[in-house]
A = this chain, B = another copy of it.
Amino acid sequence: MGLMRFNYRSEIIGMTTDVTICYPTGMLTVLDRPPARPVEKGGVQLPAPPEKFKYVPGMKFQTVWFLHGGGDDDTTAYRFTSLERYAEENQVLLVTPSVRDSMYVNTEYGIRYMDYITDELPKVIRALFPASEKREDNFIMGFAMGGNGALAIGMIHPELYSGIVDLSGGIGLTLDREVYREQMTRNSMGRNRLVGCLKGADDFENTDHDLRYIAEKDLAEGKDVPPIFIGVGERDFVQPRVKKDYEHLKDLGFNVYYEEGKDLGHEWDFWDLYFKKSLSQWLPLKKKPIYPGEE
């Protein structure tokens, strides 16, 4: 219940940019004891108020780096779903950068969005906001273009996160090289954008735009890739692609969970439902702030 749009000049992007930051302040209190609340009102028994946590200097929050979809920006998901409410219920800080249609990679046209998210933004956020620096307190999650983004960032930087959520990811980096090639060559809606961002169909193999290569490297190097949660609407047009990513991951032996949203497509009703499920059930959140000395 504390929402801000932080606007600052990013050094890696080289431009002023917006970051939406969502604090779970609705369950925090400055009071030593909450005020006595009436147990009934209008003759009706009231529910017990939720437990409150204290505001304390040096307190930290678990952080979900929440990635927006293609065509969207840092504000959209907060407006079109009840995301802020789910964050509050789970006492987690959400941070959503705005990456334009960059597929969350270090783009071919020169702007290094992946470095922005994994290097600059954590430094800025952890200096200016009470975001825990520990891997166990950090998670990456996204939907649509941000689903692929979360999967790719989480597998390229598994040392930074202890959970990955990919919802409806179907465009951008993938473990399926045929799908990658197809999206770079077919005359489809997003092709022009992809071409500017990603390495071409003939050049991407065994680079950091090739998630198959990344996955095998993670295994070869014994990297500790965190649990991966994948969700997609049963009727989503990207469902076949999302399922392929899941199958590749399972075949390679990663800790991966897959679920389809019954009767749902590539739509906000699916995302609203699965934003809640991801934060409330999938990710192993502490559901409380981290106080000094507890770390």
Q: A131's closest neighbor in chain B, by CB?
A: B57
Query: Roughly how many angstroms separate A193 CA and B44 CA in the complex, as a whole number?
Result: 21
Question: Which of B4, B38, B75 is in CB contact (< 8 Å) with A189?
Answer: B38
- Is B127 touching A72 in the complex (CB atoms < 8 A)? no
- Is A79 touching B71 in the complex (CB atoms < 8 A)? no
- Is A238 touching B42 in the complex (CB atoms < 8 A)? yes
- Is A7 touching B2 in the complex (CB atoms < 8 A)? yes
Does any Cβ of B come within 8 Å of A47's Cβ?
yes
- Is B44 touching A189 in the complex (CB atoms < 8 A)? no
- Is A71 touching B15 in the complex (CB atoms < 8 A)? yes
A1-34 interface code vs B (CB 8 A; 1 in, 0 out)? 1111111110110111110010101101111000
Query: Roughly how many angstroms separate A38 CA and B128 CA in the complex, as a whole number?
Result: 30
Query: Roughly how many angstroms separate A165 CA and B42 CA in the complex, as a whole number?
Result: 22
Main secondary structure of the interface of A (DSSP, over half): mixed
Chain A: interface residue total (CB-CB under 8 A): 81
Q: A25-B124, A78-B79 are in contact. List 9 more A-B contacts (CB 8 A).
A: A3-B7, A9-B26, A11-B29, A14-B193, A16-B75, A37-B189, A44-B238, A45-B237, A55-B124
- Is A75 touching B7 in the complex (CB atoms < 8 A)? yes
Smallest distance from the beta carbon of A111 to chain B beta carbons, Å? Answer: 9
Does any Cβ of B come within 8 Å of A222's Cβ?
no
Query: Roughly how many angstroms separate A182 CA and B40 CA in the complex, as a whole number?
Result: 14
Q: A71's closest neighbor in chain B, by CB?
A: B15
Does any Cβ of B come within 8 Å of A163's Cβ?
no
Q: A55's closest neighbor in chain B, by CB?
A: B127
Chain B residues in 8 Å Cβ range of A170: 42
Does any Cβ of B come within 8 Å of A80's Cβ?
yes
Interface window among A81-89, A136-144, A246-254: A81-89
Query: Roughly how many angstroms separate A21 CA and B170 CA in the complex, as a whole number?
Result: 33
